[in-house]
Amino acid sequence: MTENNKPDDAISSNPSDQEQIPLMQRVLDNPFLLLVLGIAVPAVFYLIWGIIEITQIPIAD
């Protein structure tokens, strides 16, 4: 036991908390990951895809 122990280690050494938190719960508990996803999805599918389509509208002859 050193002073460098991270809080996470302290928690996992507690037997009552041994069970690992499921991946999806960890995702939902991570606001910044959700922030990135919440910006990336509409930016890619709505904005970027949409603007690419606009720029590819052919010029009339």
Partner 1 sequence: MAITPPSERIWWRQPIAKIELVWIIIAFTWGLIMFFMMIYWHGAGEQNLSNEAYQIKPQVFAQHAQDMIDEHQVRDESGFPVVHPPAGSDVYLIARLWQWWPILELEKDQSYRLHLSSMDWQHGFSLQPVNINVQVHPGYEMVVTIKPDRAGEYGVVCNEFCGIGHHMMVGKIYVVE
Partner 2 sequence: MSSLVDYRTCPTTGLRVDRSAEKLIKANAVAAVVFLAIGGLFGLLVALTRWPAVHFLPADMFYLALTAHGLDVLLVWIIFFEMAVLYFASAILLNSRLAAPKVAWTGFGLMLVGALITNVAVLQGQSSVMFTSYVPMMAEPPFYLGLILFAVGALLGCGVFFGTLVIAKRDKTYDGSIPLVTFGALTAAIIAVFTIASGAIILIPTLLWSLGLVSHIDPLIYKTVWWAMGHSSQQINVSAHVAVWYAIAAMVFGAKPLSEKVSRTAFLMYILFLQLASAHHMLVEPGFSSEWKIFNTSYAMYLAVLGSMIHGMTVPGSIEAAQRARGLTKGLFEWLRKAPWGNPAFAGMFMSLVFFGFIGGISGVVMGTEQINLIMHNTLYVPGHFHGTVVAGTTLAFMAITYILVPLIFRRELVMRKLATWQPYVFGIGVAGISVFMMGAGTLGVARRHWDMTFADALLPFDYPAAAYLMMGLNGIFAVMAALGGLMYVVIVVGSVFFGKKLAEDEKPSYPEVPPASAAVSHYGSSETLRIPGTAFLVGIFFTAFVLYYFVNWKYLSEIWPLS
Binding site for partner 2 (CB under 8 A): 24-25, 28-29, 31-32, 34-35, 37-39, 41-43, 45-47, 49-51, 53-54, 57
52 contributes a contact to partner 1 by CB under 8 A: no
Contact with partner 1 (CB under 8 A): which of 19, 31, 32, 52?
19
Backbone dihedral angles phi then psi of residue 20, each to the nearest 5 degrees: -70, 140
- Residue from 28, 47, 30 nearest 39 by CA: 47
22 contributes a contact to partner 1 by CB under 8 A: yes
d(CA 42, CA 28) in angstroms, rounded, equals 19
